[in-house]
Amino acid sequence: MSVQRIGSNEMLRRLVGFDTVSRNSNLAAIEFIRDYLDGYGIASRLSFDDAGRKANLFATIGPGDQPGIVLSGHSDVVPVDDQDWTSDPFALRETDGRLYGRGSADMKGFIATALALAPDFKDRVNRTPIHIAISYDEEVGCIGVSRLIDQIGMAEARPIACVVGEPTRMSPVIGQKGLHVFRCHAHGREAHSSRTPHGVNAVEAAAELIARIKAISRRIRAEGPFDSGFEPPYTTVHCGTIHGGAAQNIVPASCNFTYEIRNLPGHDPAPLVAEIERHAREHIEPEMHAVDPKAGFTFEPRNGLPAYEIAEDHPAVTLVKGALGANAVGKVSYMTEAGLFGRAGIPTVICGPGDIAQAHKPDEFIEMSEIARCETFLLRLAELVRA
């Protein structure tokens, strides 16, 4: 059987053509990838979400019982709703050396390159396998990859390195901040607004706590801790949504808001989480309880993703730098799956084609030169692990 090779740009065109916005099934894309790899005799394992609508794919090229290298990317993309696109976001368009389409930079460009090179990997591997890991539901909280990592954990050999191909303009990234999101519900008691002492105003209670969260964020900005590798170089705290109140003449009984902590590696978010809750309990709730003992705050953690850092002289970093011919390393403040691979004990470097500035935007694009640099990197990586 002779198989027609598919180049990286053509593979990207095919992947962009699957509308894998996180709310949709990704199975058509995953089945296409599985069948494509199968055409080269490369076996894939799929792991599904509870509803069976989405799947991760984990393919192994070479001996699966040996420690290998993982090339990792997420299949899902962010929505295009209310975005002004020049052309169909799910039909890859080439203009002036750029490839436009949803997910071209974040991060089907990397996946497409790894897949296009799968036959080359197959020719090169001997003792060290190369795995291609493709997850679902990254953009909505890195949900799918946990199952995928469990699957890797079951393998006989823990990988020696993982490359998460988020767009870094092909420079190696060795640290990312953590992300911890919380939802807070302030419950008060309704009253006519002419009788405010008989009510407990949930909007005002929430506002007092949000003011405290803002004060904490100012304090960290002034006092640190700091890591100049990150921009901004400190942990950030921020409220993103608030909903409360029904009418101007009713003391509102309910207010919900969400906030997040993006912590530096080594800056434990737990004391900040506790400080916010303690402030509510000690400084805001007593006045609420004086009117209604049932009034107060509830806190609900939404998702937590660990910060991640790997030593600059770790062998996995040395390997990636060697394949790139690069010396400088960086750190990023956005979220990737690296924290979850790291927590599973898999040394991970973030490095991929394209620019994060393009991610999630209308007319998202990747430069074809970035795809070409990624090809060179992955082929060199395969040569290095073979040696």
| Residue 186 lies near Zn ion (rule: CB under 5 A) | no
CB 73 to Zn ion: min, Å: 8
- Only one residue has tokens 């995928």, namely 148
SS3 state of residue 286: helix
Residue closer to Zn ion by CB (options 166, 204) is 166
Q: Which long-range contacts (CB under 8 A, 24 or more apart) does 153-159 make?
A: 153/344, 155/64, 155/65, 156/64, 156/65, 157/64, 157/65, 157/66, 157/67, 157/68, 158/67, 158/345, 158/346, 159/67, 159/68, 159/69, 159/70, 159/131, 159/346
Q: Which long-range contacts (CB under 8 A, 24 or more apart) does 188-191 make?
A: 188/251, 188/252, 188/253, 188/254, 188/255, 188/288, 188/292, 188/295, 189/251, 189/253, 189/291, 189/292, 189/294, 189/295, 190/250, 190/251, 190/252, 190/253, 191/250, 191/251
19 is catalytic: no
CB 144 to Zn ion: min, Å: 12
Contact map string, positions 62 to 101, toward Zn ion, x by CB under 5 A = ----------------------------------------
- Which tokens in the block code for residue 126? 């001997």
Q: Between the CA of residue 248 and those of 88, 192, 203, 287, what are the distances in Å? A: 44, 10, 12, 22
CB 365 to Zn ion: min, Å: 15
| Exposure of 353 in the CB half-sphere (CA atoms within 13 A) | 29
Residues 283-342 that bind Zn ion (CB under 5 A): none
Residues 206-265 that bind Zn ion (CB under 5 A): none
| Residue 107 lies near Zn ion (rule: CB under 5 A) | yes
Residue closer to Zn ion by CB (options 296, 342) is 342
Cβ-closest position to Zn ion: 106
Determine contact, residues 375/342, Cβ cutoff 8 Å: no
Residue closer to Zn ion by CB (options 54, 187) is 54
Residue closer to Zn ion by CB (options 309, 364) is 364
DSSP string, 126-157: SSS-EEEEEES--TTTS-HHHHHHHHHHHSSS
| Residue 106 lies near Zn ion (rule: CB under 5 A) | yes
CB 381 to Zn ion: min, Å: 20
Sheet (strand 179-187) strand order: 236-244, 254-262, 179-187, 296-305
| Exposure of 166 in the CB half-sphere (CA atoms within 13 A) | 27
Residues 127-166 that bind Zn ion (CB under 5 A): 166
Give the binding-site size for Zn ion (rule: CB under 5 A).
3
* Among 107-115, 209-217, 233-241, 272-280, the segment contacting Zn ion (CB under 5 A): 107-115
Residue closer to Zn ion by CB (options 107, 237) is 107
Residue closer to Zn ion by CB (options 133, 255) is 133
CB 374 to Zn ion: min, Å: 15
Determine contact, residues 60/131, Cβ cutoff 8 Å: yes
Residue closer to Zn ion by CB (options 107, 280) is 107
138 is catalytic: yes
Catalytic residue among 106, 138, 260, 375: 138
CB 282 to Zn ion: min, Å: 40
CB 222 to Zn ion: min, Å: 32
| Residue 174 lies near Zn ion (rule: CB under 5 A) | no
Residue positions annotated with a catalytic role: 76, 138
Q: Which residues make up the interface to Zn ion (CB under 5 A)?
A: 106-107, 166
